Amino acid sequence: MSNQIVKALEHGAQKLGKTLAEDAGKALKGFYRKAGDNLKNVAHNTREADGKHAKDLEKILKGDAKKTPHTVHADGGGPRDRGGPPKNDGRGRRQVDKPHESGRPQDSVCPGGEPVDMATGRMFIEQMDLSLPGSLPLLFKRSFESGYQAGRWMGPRWVCTFDERLEIDAQGVVYLSADRISQAYPHPEPGDPSQATAGARLDLAVDATTGDYTLTDASTGLVREFTTWPDGGTAPLTAIRDRSGHRVHFAYDADGSPLSMTHSGGYRVLVTVDSGRITALRLAGAGEDGRDVLLTRYGYTDGHLSSVYNSSGRPLRFANDSQGRVVSWTDRNGTQYRYTYDQYDRVLAEGAADGTLGFGFAYGEPDPVTGVRVHSETNALGHTVLHHVNELSQVVAQSDPLGHTTRFERDEYDRLLSRTDPLGRVTRFEYDGAGDVVAVTHPDGERSTAAYAGELSLPAVITRPGGLTWRQTYDEAGRRTSVTDPTGATTRYGYDEAGHLASVTDPLGHSTLVRCNAAGLPLEVTDRSGATSRYDRDGFGRVVTVTDQLGGITRLTWTIEGAIASLTAPDRTIETWAYDDEGNLLTHTDRVGRVSTFEYTPFETLAARTGPDGARLAFDYDAHMQLVKVTNALGQTWDYVYDAAGQLIEESDFNGRTVGYRLDAAGQLVSRTNPLGARIDYSYDDIGRLTGKNADGAATTYGYDPAGHLVRATGPDADLLRTVDPLGNLLTETVNGRTLTHARDMMARPVGRTTPSGHTSAWTYNRGGRRTSLVTPDGRLDFAYDAAGQESERGIGERLTLASTWDSEHRLTGQILSAGPSVLQRRGYSYRADGVLTGVEDELGGDRSFDIDAAGRVTAVHAATWTESYAYDPAGNLTEAEWPATGATEAALGTRSYQGTELGSAGRIRYEYDGAGRIVLRQVTRLSRKPDSWHYDWDAEDRLTAVTTPDGTRWRYRYDPFGRRIAKQRLAADGVTVAEWTDFTWDGSTLAEQTTHAPYLPGPHTLTWNHKGLQPLAQTETITTPATADTPQEQIDRRFFAIVTDLVGTPTELVDPASATVAWRATPTLWGNTTWPSSSSTYTPLRFPGQYFDPETRLHYNLHRYYDPETARYTSPDPLGLSPAPNADGYVHNPHTWCDPLGLMPDPNDATRKHLMDLGKKRITDVASTLGDDETPPGAYTVGKDRTTGKIYYGDSGPETGHEQAVTDAMPKESHHERGRPPGVCGEPRMFTNAIKDGADPKNVDLVTVNPKGKKFKMCSNCQTWVPDFGGEVLTG
């Protein structure tokens, strides 16, 4: 199947990717809805729709097995006679008859359908058959266009890498690129380059001595060399080189037939030509035995490309008409797609035989006054998009099926001058003589500017709104040598003799060292602390072994097409993946032999997923491949409805409850209506930033500084003020007069914090960026690490230590808490090969072992004197639960019953719900007395606002504009007076402090927490006794406790360093019901990560929802719908190694794919708000999470903006340019440098990358090879 169908499907099946804010408060924090997208992001699903992978390695083709093409007809655009070099037959000159049409860069082409250039009506296909990574990647690509007729080596209408050439005639020189771009140049004079009459501004130069040519792209630094054949009429591409001298050489035989591509880094691709057509590609010496590896072979009919074979041995077939136009393709799974054309090579209709993904096209005549033509594109649902095309073949306006129009203005070189969105918001762009953007005027009138480094076309000074300025320096080869951010912090880069990245030095002078191979791919990376990771690579440049800092070796195998086939861990357990002939993942077998299977629609969209336990999740699509229904393992359905523009406007959950969305002309969410009819309205400023929301009458406003940083938010319960540094890092946050203050070092890392109570804490770091100490006025923690960055020892005050041990898989295996020779607590962990916890040895709490079902859920807990047992239905809901009974939890034991997905009863507890699926009554039946009832009140934003307990006590809850709970209040009998209250202070999304005021306390009682990511490290208890007549001075008593946690970060012990004793110890059930010894001398309300225990409700507050540990469920549905998980009400499937710190999505403690996927979607909207709706968004968004600290880091791809990152030069922008994307850099290196600058060890940073629709995005070939050298696990394949 063509790559373009996949792109079309991203417009169809992933149409759910249209961002819809669940509500503005959550939108502000970035938890935006991508309903259904994450359903495809299953564990270890490395399927990438653009890849064409083998079913397995055993099917790799051996030998040539070539087929001789049919004889080429003389009138069929066949190859030249084999009597001499290629001749200039004038086809190139004819190709530039309309120079503005043929010279348009690819980013100026407006695609429609599957896909069609809506300016010309011509269908095009772009496919990459080979991409070998390096500082300068080696690529072989081919492209078809129904109106193109200057192709040679794959037929007249296909153009490939070897078709790139110059044709010289009396009129000048015609450049024919491998991307179908054709440009006409005047003859250059020696020493005086010429530029094309239309299209990209490249410099064509001629050598006075040899007559050979070079074509230079100043924006990328790439130079193409063309060697003129003796007849002087043709000059084929013979080399591509970059500024550093890296080079790809193209060799031809005496006849001019392609022979090979040789890379200066060592790659060599052999080309087989038969009858004037390329028939096969081989990678020389890439086999395990040193033999050549057959990559791809091609077949032809009458000289036209008709089949492409990958390593499966099965062909992708093209049927061509008598003119050589592709009239259908049939992929390797038998799916067919058809095209019909008019006499002008324009597509009239296309689609599958049954109409799926069908499109119809109509082309208008030029307006007699403006010359503008209107072309229409109608999809399979009958919805029409209008494209307005001027005389230069530029789309100047687009009207969606709802009539909303976006307008574009371009100059004669196709550079965007302005964009006006359907709301009339205009963004303008200015360029210098070299064609580089020098200024952008945003819709609000603010400007961003750039100044460039000499003739390099590389940004040296970038200034954004608010006066924020970044400065960069470069060496003579255009390699970045330093970047200085607006705070003055400078990061420096060094290179080896070959021009490959060799070092990255942070603003404090600490360096990460890199040793690369000849292609520029890292072989060794030594972090700032001196620990080294090593990488072995195969002939494709892919990592095949990783030796970590401790000597653990991970081995990987790959299909020829680049999909991972197996992973052998350091403990020698194996994980495997199998694919169909089109590269779709069919099965994943984990390290204990559990198999997950995947099914697909004819257009390679996920149709069903079946887990190891047999639970099946199915997906239905409409004719435009929009996801319209999800069916879970119980047969319940979740339905989606879209408007004519493909935007989600309604969804109905498994219980038939419907949420509606309304969007404005620009696609911004302007209202959300819940199943009860409560509505939230949203407003935005001129650049798309959220400025206000009205939640059923409760108004909230948001304000920004000139740089676009949020600095004020006012809601019904709170007024919030923030100050930030120039990069947006938080310095102070004041909520209702209570201020949290941060101090940061040169790398913007937190080094000090002061809470509203006056509690101070300070962090120090080692040269590797890891935290080495936490110091408070009342206690101190010191941290030591092994070479892999894993905590090996924690000093607690002067007397206590907590020692940790790890296995080869970097899993915690043991903890010993000791005071000198005395052991206070000893805990050991044992795991299955796939990382599922199977046992805990606990010196204080007793040993436990766990039974695990096929889905990885715990079904039993076995201890010496007690057991727990659990049963689940296919959707993961608890159906039976037993644990050692206590008076508070005994009522919940036993059978659970459900109505739809709503829990009706659990043991002797029954539940009632409102129309939005929120629990409004929890009632415990009693044998001989009135039942105990809890009544819950909710607001339009699904926040619990009040509860009435069985004794009639009323509690009220308050939230800030970010949705964080800032107070709970117990009301007096009059229902108005506040009798007791607790104020909460947040550090981001982490609870930092609480202060309780109650008549039974001598004064304010404060608990302050220090965290490292999700893990609480310390709790400080402060009791303030006000001055009285007897005690004229205020009395302040403080106690410091170190916190020991389990694998995910749930507190297990509070340790008093003063007495060297365990002051509190948790005894939890599997799902979080917690008891503790009555002899405890302190207490903590912290539970699972992100959870806080409320005694009045027995619920755990979990930021966005409330969790009930008796039922392992939340009291309201997930506001993100099905995006995080197929069960919108349940907690994680295994709380031993997974958690949900935000109350939004399951999150493993060491890898957080779904969390990061949604944060990636958050980034989409955040960037849109920052750049303005009218600016071009990045092509991909990378989100990383430090598994040791829980900190989140971001990086966005796109043109260089001055936010350049520490390893940017390891992933040069040229690779993007070669792939046809605008020059720029990837999000992965940008994210990693943000992490490095914050002191994170890149090896501990796991990451995901998503595209602008929120769908997982496979890294480019270059990043695929070096990212493992810098980072942790890539969670999106």
Going by pLDDT thresholds of 50, 70 and 90, the confidence category of residue 766 is very high
Domain limits for position 1117: 811-1148
Decide if pLDDT at 103 tops 60: yes
Mean of the pLDDT values across residues 842-857? 97
| Higher local confidence (pLDDT), 825 or 108 | 825
Over residues 146-166, the pLDDT tens digits come to: 999 999 999 999 999 999 999
For residue 921, what are the β-bridge partners? 912, 935
Average the pLDDT over each of 42-46, 491-495, 1139-1143 and give the range with the smallest value.
42-46
Please tell me the distance from the alpha carbon of residue 171 to that of residue 155, in angstroms, as a whole number: 26
Residue 1256 pLDDT = 57
Confidence of residue 986 (pLDDT cuts 50, 70, 90): very high
For residue 122, is it within any domain? yes
Structure tokens at 791: 């905590």
- Average the pLDDT over 1203-1225 and give the result: 31
Amino acid identity for residue 1256 in this structure: K
- Phi first, then psi: what are they for 59, rounded to 5°? -95, 10
Asked if pLDDT for residue 1257 goes beyond 70, the answer is no
Distance CA 493, CA 510 (A): 11
**Length of the chain counted residue by residue:** 1277
> Chain centroid to CA 331: how far?
29
| Residue 1251 banded pLDDT, cuts 50, 70, 90 | low
Query: Given pLDDT bands bounded at 50, 70 and 90, which one contains residue 1266?
Result: very low
Rounded to 10°, the helix 1227-1237/1261-1270 angle is 20
Instruction: Give the pair of three-digit tokens for residue 231.
Output: 């007849």
Place of tokens 């979740």: 638
The pLDDT assigned to 881 comes to: 98
Give every CB contact of residue 821 below 8 A, 6+ residues apart in sequence: none
Total domain count for the chain?
2
When the pLDDT of each residue in the chain is averaged and rounded to a whole number, the result is 87
Question: With 70 as the cut, is the pLDDT of residue 654 above it?
Answer: yes
* Domain boundary residue, one of 1148, 1173, 1202: 1148
Q: Which of 1119, 1148, 1177 is the C-terminal boundary of a domain?
A: 1148
- pLDDT band for position 1027 (cuts 50, 70, 90): confident
| 87 — pLDDT class (breaks 50, 70, 90) | confident
Q: What is the mean pLDDT of residues 1046-1059?
A: 97
Task: Supply the pLDDT for residue 454.
Answer: 84
Q: Does residue 837 form part of some domain?
A: yes
Locate tokens 């001058």: which residue? 417
Number of Cβ within 10 Å of residue 697's Cβ equals 10
The reply to whether 385 falls in a domain is no
Residue 1088 lies in a domain: yes
Burial classification of residue 259, based on how many CB atoms lie within 10 Å of its CB (0-12 exposed, 13-18 middle, 19 or more buried)? middle
**How high is the pLDDT of residue 73?**
29
Give residue 1015's pLDDT band: very low, low, confident or very high (50, 70, 90).
very high
Q: Is 816 among the domain residues? A: yes
Of the three residues 298, 324, 345, the one that is the final residue of a domain is: 345
Work out the widest C-alpha separation in the chain, in whole angstroms: 114
What mean pLDDT is predicted for residues 444-469?
A: 93
Task: Evaluate the CA torsion angle 403, 409, 414, 417 in order and state its sign.
Answer: negative
Q: What is the mean pLDDT of residues 5-10?
A: 30
**Is residue 635 situated within a structural domain?**
no
Nearest to 802, CA basis, from 830, 824, 773, 770: 824
Q: Does some domain include residue 142?
A: yes
The pair of structure tokens assigned to 349 is 């209709």
Q: Residue 1144 pLDDT more than 70? A: yes
For residue 755, name the pLDDT band (cuts at 50, 70, 90). Answer: very high
pLDDT tens, position by position, 540-556: 999 999 999 999 999 99
Q: What percent of the chain has pLDDT over 70?
A: 84
CA atoms within 13 Å, Cβ hemisphere of 25: 25
Residue 40 per-residue DSSP state? G
Measured between alpha carbons, how far is 662 from 665 in angstroms, rounded to an integer?
Answer: 10
pLDDT per position as a tens digit, 169-214: 999 999 999 999 999 999 999 999 999 999 999 999 999 999 999 9
Rounded CA-CA distance 306/1059 in Å is 81
What is the reported pLDDT for 1242? Answer: 55
Split at pLDDT 50, 70, 90, the class of 65 is very low
| N-term to C-term CA, the chain | 20
Using the predicted structure, report yes or no on whether residue 498 has a pLDDT greater than 90: yes
Q: Judge whether residue 1202 has pLDDT over 90.
A: no
- State what percent of residues in the chain have pLDDT above 90: 78
- Cβ neighbour number for residue 192 with a 10 Å cutoff: 8
What average pLDDT does this structure show over 905-925?
Answer: 98
Q: What is the pLDDT of residue 1168?
A: 40
Q: Evaluate if residue 1153 carries a pLDDT over 90.
A: no
pLDDT bracket for residue 1123 (50, 70, 90): confident
Q: Span 310-326, mean pLDDT?
A: 97
Per-residue confidence (pLDDT) for residue 919, from 0 to 100: 99
Identify the pLDDT of residue 1025: 87
Identify any residues that bridge with 1086 across adjacent strands, giving them in sequence order: 1092
Cross-strand pairs, 980: 970
Split at pLDDT 50, 70, 90, the class of 108 is confident
pLDDT at 1211: 32
The first and second tokens of residue 76, run together, are: 């069929």
DSSP 80: P
Identify the H or E element spanning 25: helix 24-29
Span 861-888, average pLDDT: 96
pLDDT score for 1276: 56
pLDDT > 70? residue 415: yes
> How sure is the predictor about 928, in pLDDT bands with cuts at 50, 70 and 90?
confident
Taking the CB of residue 615, how many other CB atoms lie within 10 A of it?
19
At 1183 the pLDDT is: 77
What whole-number distance in Å separates Cα of residue 1183 and Cα of residue 1162?
10
State the pLDDT at residue 1160.
Answer: 58
Indicate whether 1163 pLDDT > 70. no
Query: Residue 1001 domain-assigned?
Result: yes
Whether the predicted pLDDT of 1200 surpasses 70: no
Poorest-confidence range of 332-341, 912-921, 1204-1213, 1223-1232?
1204-1213
